[in-house]
């Protein structure tokens, strides 16, 4: 997701606006979700590691942020949405990405695309429109049942080529995609006090006169609590006292699992983040954990659970290593701007209106999504001539920086 966007020139109900399957979420959802998390804290002995808190806050069935019926994606706060993603911002995102997907399908000799975390279905729609018969089977894996319903409504005209999977297939031959999926995976939080490292977890907020973290569920809110840990960031750096940062074992495990089933094809992940040498710089001593609600960001995931997104930037070095260690080739890494321009975005925009260009420009402008967002590509068994690298990484590849 990106910073609050200026209103698009499209009318309400156009790209980026929530569809009829979404509806406002009531305070009841927060109350029920809070009660569920309090139970989990109690069951865990009074202290829940943050990654488990985040998993419940985002994905608890029917209640978590991604599992409830709120609008989530959209370009304008007035629509009830919380943030905008690239395919919601401009259909030219998917149209440009289609060039890389087409090359991946041809080089793998397949007609299958598998998208993780398809959100509102915007990217799937753009790709299916752009790629036509080149895609015979578009598979979606999404943790959220309500989002699946939204995707089904939006993609009805492509049936029966679109399928929803409950689990990963035993083998994947084709092109795998994930836009802003890795940043939505739960992270563990670490705190360095200048002498020792602690894992940061969540306890029940103390009711007046009681002690927080006793596991008795006294308060209705949540509070932070640290425990000594042997966990460490993956780099040795001069961490400043008071550093709070995050590590990403779930995202790495996800990539390793994918590597175990990707038999032949290309996997592309687009997201905001950095290589590890930039991730753990002293200037980021407060980490990258952030919440999004109504197109505003805030640093407090413990408040208003279920009503806001919780996210952390992606450690692309960790992602690359997870894929490589599991046998994939890291075939490219670059900025979103470079990738989309390499894929022909500027040519595609030649016939676009001024309003369409203005929105698409945000995908590549350095201070919007162009530089913070990156694209990483993994391949296995692709039939690509040595003089024909992956299209999106033909110029400006930064794999050496990982």
Rule CB under 6 A: say whether 66 interacts with ligand SAM. Answer: yes
Closest CA to 123 of 145, 160, 105, 96: 96
259 lies in the binding site for ligand SAM (CB under 6 A): no
Choose which of 147, 189, 328, 345 interacts with ligand SAM (CB under 6 A).
147
Q: How far is the CB of 5 from ligand SAM (least distance, A)?
A: 13
Please check whether residue 295 is in contact with residue 8, taking contact to mean a CB–CB distance below 8 angstroms. Answer: no
Asked whether position 125 contacts ligand SAM by CB under 6 A, the answer is no
- Asked if 88 interacts with ligand SAM (CB under 6 A), we say yes
- Nearer to ligand SAM (CB atom), residue 118 or residue 189: 118
Which residue in the shown chain puts its C-beta closest to ligand SAM? Answer: 117
Question: Does 119 help bind ligand SAM (rule: CB under 6 A)?
Answer: yes
Stretch touching ligand SAM by CB under 6 A, among 83-91, 95-103, 159-167, 232-240: 83-91
Q: What is the DSSP letter of 30?
A: H
Whether the Cβ atoms of residue 199 and residue 174 lie closer than 8 Å to each other:
no
Among 184, 267, 289, 305, binds ligand SAM (CB under 6 A): 184
Sheet containing 290-293: which strands, arranged edge to edge? Answer: 296-298, 290-293, 309-311
Beta bridge partners of 246: 189
- Give min distance, CB of 141 to ligand SAM, in A: 5
* Nearest alpha carbon to residue 322 among 248, 273, 256: 256
Closest approach, Cβ 294 to ligand SAM, in A, equals: 16
Between CA 240 and CA 247 the distance in angstroms is 17
Can residue 258 be called a binding residue for ligand SAM (CB under 6 A)?
A: no
d(CA 233, CA 47): 21
The C-alpha atoms of residue 81 and residue 283 are separated, in whole angstroms, by: 31
**195-254 positions binding ligand SAM, by CB under 6 A:** 254
Which is nearer to ligand SAM, 15 or 213 (by Cβ)?
Answer: 15
Residue 146 touches ligand SAM, criterion: CB under 6 A: no
Q: Supply the minimum distance, in Å, between the C-beta of residue 195 and ligand SAM.
A: 35
Using CB under 6 A, pick the residue from 65, 116, 269, 274 that binds ligand SAM. 116
- The span of 13-21, 45-53, 138-146, 393-401 binding ligand SAM (CB under 6 A) equals 138-146
Residue 176, CA distances (Å) to 48, 168, 399 in order: 33, 11, 19
Q: How far is the CB of 271 from ligand SAM (least distance, A)?
A: 9
**Calculated CA dihedral for residues 10, 15, 21, 24, nearest 10 degrees:** -60
CA distance 249 to 273: 15
Total residues at interface with ligand SAM (CB under 6 A): 21
When asked if residue 8 is in the footprint of ligand SAM (CB under 6 A), the reply is no
Closest C-alpha among 238, 151, 223 to residue 192: 238
Q: How many other C-beta atoms are found inside a 10 Å radius of the C-beta of residue 40?
A: 16
Return the residue of 180, 199, 205, 246 that touches ligand SAM, per CB under 6 A.
Answer: 180
**CB contact at 8 A, 253 and 162:** no
Burial of 133 (0-12, 13-18, 19+ CB in 10 A): exposed
The answer to whether residue 144 forms part of the interface with ligand SAM (CB under 6 A) is: yes
Note the residues at the interface with ligand SAM (CB under 6 A). 66, 73, 85, 87-88, 116-119, 122, 141-144, 147, 179-181, 184-185, 254
């Amino acid at each position: 997701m990106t910073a609050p966007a200026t209103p698009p020139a499209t009318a309400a109900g156009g790209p980026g606006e929530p569809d009829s399957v979404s509806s406002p979420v009531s305070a009841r959802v927060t109350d029920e979700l809070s009660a569920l998390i309090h139970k989990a804290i109690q069951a865990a002995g009074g202290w829940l590691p943050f990654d488990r808190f985040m998993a419940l806050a985002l994905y608890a069935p029917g209640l978590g942020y991604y599992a409830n019926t709120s609008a989530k994606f959209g370009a304008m706060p007035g629509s009830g949405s919380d943030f905008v993603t690239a395919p919601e911002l401009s259909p030219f995102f998917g149209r440009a990405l289609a060039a890389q997907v087409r090359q991946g399908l041809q080089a793998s000799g397949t007609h299958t695309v598998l998208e993780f975390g398809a959100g509102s279905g915007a990217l799937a729609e753009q790709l299916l429109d752009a790629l036509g018969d080149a895609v015979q089977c578009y598979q979606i894996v999404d943790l959220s049942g309500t989002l699946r319903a939204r995707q089904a409504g939006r993609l009805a005209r492509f049936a029966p080529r679109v399928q929803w999977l409950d689990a990963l297939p035993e083998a994947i031959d084709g092109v795998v995609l994930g836009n802003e999926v890795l940043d939505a995976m739960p992270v563990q939080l670490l705190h360095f006090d200048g002498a020792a490292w602690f894992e940061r977890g969540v306890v029940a907020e103390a009711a007046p006169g009681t002690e927080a973290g006793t596991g008795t569920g006294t308060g209705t809110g949540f509070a932070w609590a640290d425990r000594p840990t042997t966990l460490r960031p993956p780099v040795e750096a001069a961490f400043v006292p008071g550093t709070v940062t995050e590590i990403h074992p779930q995202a790495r495990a996800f990539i390793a699992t994918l590597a175990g089933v990707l038999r032949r094809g290309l996997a592309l992940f687009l997201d905001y983040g950095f290589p590890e040498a930039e991730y753990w710089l002293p200037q980021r001593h407060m980490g990258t954990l952030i919440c999004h609600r109504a197109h505003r960001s805030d640093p407090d995931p413990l408040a208003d659970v279920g009503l806001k997104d919780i996210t952390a930037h992606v450690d692309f070095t960790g992602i690359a290593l997870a894929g490589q260690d599991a046998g994939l080739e890291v075939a490219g890494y670059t900025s979103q701007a470079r990738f989309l321009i390499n894929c022909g975005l500027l040519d595609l925009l030649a016939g676009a209106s001024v309003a369409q260009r203005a929105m698409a420009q945000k995908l590549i402008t350095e201070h919007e999504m162009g530089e913070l967002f990156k694209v990483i590509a993994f391949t296995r068994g692709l039939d690509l001539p040595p003089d024909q690298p992956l299209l999106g990484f033909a110029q400006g590849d930064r794999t050496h920086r990982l």
